[in-house]
Amino acid sequence: MEFAQIFSGFAVGALVGITGVGGGALMTPLLVLLFGIVPATAVGTDLLYAALTKSGGTLVHARRGHVDWRIVRRLAMGSLPAAALTLLLVARLVPGGLAGAQRTITLALGIALLLTAIALLLRRRLQTVAKARSAVSALADRAWPTVLAGAVLGALVALSSVGAGALGVTTLFFLYPGLAAIRIVGTDLAHAVPLTLLAGLGHWWFGNIDWLLLATLLIGSLPGVWLGSHLAPRIPERVLRPLLATMLALAGGKLITA
């Protein structure tokens, strides 16, 4: 079982390195559907897994000037309070707390996977629509929509661990069509680190972290991300994106109907 988890971490890490998305969207359903991990524990463990694996990528992007920290702050203004409030409300209002909200978490995970699949397939079209609306995006014009988008992402990520990647990038493409793609990726990555860390610590507070599982996944994922980042230029995105979207849609549908 541990070898299978290491291999899963490696495979997901490689896909993240190749496509830039898929960490939470792939790892959490794998833990739930393949390894039988309780949904709340799978989400909590994956959140800390994402925070650790994405920290290195954020440092690289930040050093190269690919992070717009003003946008990161605006996203965090919405996402961090929303994530904390979501966890608190579920823990206080749902019988049994997060552990008793398994169906809610599973349903949120399934919906998040379907939204991520749609975002992957429609990202370029949404970007085209956004550019048609505004050739240049002024930060002043997008402040509160960015905070609101962050709040939605924060609530979704806290419950499902999915949304900080593909959904975040797609949202930024739509809100800031004039921003270079590499800066959108770097900005989304920088925002994902504090969001997944806060949500992960919240799950840890409620006892939903499997530390041995986390260490096992990291053993596989760190070399996987390194390999995937080197393979990325050789694999056509037009092949990977539909395959990834199909896989996420199937997993999301299974979780929703489970």
Sequence letter at residue 247 = M
Confidence of residue 78 (pLDDT cuts 50, 70, 90): very high
Mean pLDDT confidence for 50-78: 88
* Residue 160, domain extent: 2-257
Gap between the Cα atoms of 13 and 6, Å rounded: 10
Gap between the Cα atoms of 110 and 115, Å rounded: 9
What is the tens place of the pLDDT at every residue in 208-250?
A: 899 999 999 999 988 887 887 677 667 676 776 677 677 678 7
What is the tens place of the pLDDT at every residue in 188-197?
A: 889 999 999 9
Strand (E) or helix (H) holding 167: helix 166-175
Gap between the Cα atoms of 129 and 222, Å rounded: 36
Lookup: tokens for 217:
């996944």
Q: What mean pLDDT is reported for the chain?
A: 82
Mean pLDDT confidence for 91-104: 74
Mean pLDDT confidence for 29-43: 88
Q: What are phi and psi of 124, to 5 degrees?
A: -65, -40
Confidence of residue 198 (pLDDT cuts 50, 70, 90): very high
pLDDT at 70: 94
- List all residues 6 or more positions away from 88 whose beta carbon is below 8 Å from its beta carbon: none
Q: Is the pLDDT of residue 45 over 90?
A: yes
Torsion-angle region of 36 (φ positive above 0: left; ψ -120 to 50: alpha; else: beta): left
Q: Is the pLDDT of residue 98 over 90?
A: no
pLDDT at 145: 92
Q: How far apart are the first and last CA of the chain?
A: 23
- List all residues 6 or more positions away from 114 whose beta carbon is below 8 Å from its beta carbon: 248, 249, 252, 253, 256
What's the domain count of the chain? Answer: 1
CB 61 within 8 A of CB 179: no
Torsion-angle region of 219 (φ positive above 0: left; ψ -120 to 50: alpha; else: beta): alpha
pTM of the predicted model, to two decimals? 0.81
pLDDT at 1: 59
